[in-house]
Homo-oligomer: A and B are copies of this chain.
Amino acid sequence: MKERVLELLKKGYPDFVSGESICQSLGVSRTAVWKHIQALRAAGYDIEAVPHAGYRLVNIPDRLYPAEITRGLQTAFLGRNVYHYDQVESTNRTARELAARGVPDGTLVVAEEQTGGRGRMGRGWFSPHGRGIWCSVILYPAVNPMDAPPLTMLAAVAVARALRRAAGVEAGIKWPNDLLVGEKKICGILTELSAEMERVNYLIIGMGINVNIDRHEFPLELREIATSVQIERGRRVSRVHLLQNLLAELEYWYRLWEKEGFAPVLACWKELNVTLHRPVRVFTWKESWEGWAEDVDADGSLVLRLPGGEYKRVVSGEVSLRAR
């Protein structure tokens, strides 16, 4: 009901909407309308109330509220069901708990702040309040776990395209799924899965996008290696708008992957990548190699040409780009 009051105020924006018309539209009392207005104010909506004129929406808070995300969202299933939190340890962790309870396909978990945000290789992820898109998407792809790794590269394609189209940031992809502007990271993706050997139970794609973070707000150790949309564009942008674009991109590429497999995703990944045809160092948990990033194969593995001339196929790991 609170959301329906908000809808009416948004329709009336920037004019006043009379209390009487809200009462009639929703079939509730003036006292009830007043209670919902108070609840909306508590959630951060700036609403002016003038006797005989009614209510007027003055300002929408910079929050990733479900009502804001789903209004005008161009997707069929992705992000249609949203769990929003002010603070969580990590959205992936919350998503795991929700997935185990069987929430709908495409459910989005989003938080204003993560107290224990995590990146790949067990690293932390700086996730200050209201400054980024810290979110996880829950999917139930009907595949066996060996076919799941391409989905993490698919997510990178979706984020890169959303950053380009909705925020004007020319992000490139470092294999397999880090998003860079220049040499600095703007987004990290952590994909997790629960599976039997024959099929995936659920897949969680966690994404952390640095949006409205100023350079001096990054911890010292991140200042030279991290960036944000705000830093790149010189102004704050709407997180809701960027997230809506991201969800639309994700759904588009996911549906395409379901129909046509990894090939079209990989083709787009290659167009957006900044890893290939240059010298790199690749680290895995056990080893590291220096070589020339020759190609990414049909499974998403990085094909490295070693100094001796032989080729090395790397299934997973961390790439450090080297001077050409």
Question: Does B142 contact A197, Cβ atoms closer than 8 Å?
Answer: no
Enumerate chain B residues within 8 angstroms of A120, measured Cβ to Cβ: 196-198
A144 on interface, CB distance cutoff 8 Å: yes
Question: Does B152 contact A197, Cβ atoms closer than 8 Å?
Answer: yes
Contacting B at CB under 8 A, from A146-184, are 146, 148-149, 152, 176
Enumerate chain B residues within 8 angstroms of A152, measured Cβ to Cβ: 197
The 8 A CB mask of A179-214 against B (1 = contact, 0 = none) is: 000000000001111111111010000000000000
A130 on interface, CB distance cutoff 8 Å: no
Instruction: Choose among B199, B315, B317 the residue that contacts A146 (Cβ–Cβ < 8 A).
Output: B315
A316 on interface, CB distance cutoff 8 Å: yes
Enumerate chain B residues within 8 angstroms of A199, measured Cβ to Cβ: 285, 316
Question: Does B145 contact A195, Cβ atoms closer than 8 Å?
Answer: yes
A121 on interface, CB distance cutoff 8 Å: yes
Question: Does A316 contact B198, Cβ atoms closer than 8 Å?
Answer: yes
Given contacts A144-B316, A149-B146, contact A192 B196 (CB under 8 A): yes
Q: How many copies does the complex hold?
A: 2
Enumerate chain B residues within 8 angstroms of A190, measured Cβ to Cβ: 196
Instruction: Choose among B146, B198, B201 the residue that contacts A121 (Cβ–Cβ < 8 A).
Output: B198
Tell me, in angstroms, the Cα distance from A176 to B148 when the chains sit together.
20
Nearest residue in B to A193 (C-beta to C-beta)? B195
Nearest residue in B to A206 (C-beta to C-beta)? B196
Closest CB of chain B to A265's CB: distance in Å?
15
Question: Does A194 contact B197, Cβ atoms closer than 8 Å?
Answer: no
Enumerate chain B residues within 8 angstroms of A176, measured Cβ to Cβ: 197
Closest CB of chain B to A210's CB: distance in Å?
21
Question: Does B148 contact A145, Cβ atoms closer than 8 Å?
Answer: yes
Most chain B CB neighbours (cut-off 10 Å) among A146, A198, A316 = A198
Known: A146-B149, A192-B195. 9 other contacts (CB 8 A): A144-B315, A145-B145, A145-B149, A146-B146, A146-B315, A192-B201, A194-B195, A197-B316, A199-B316
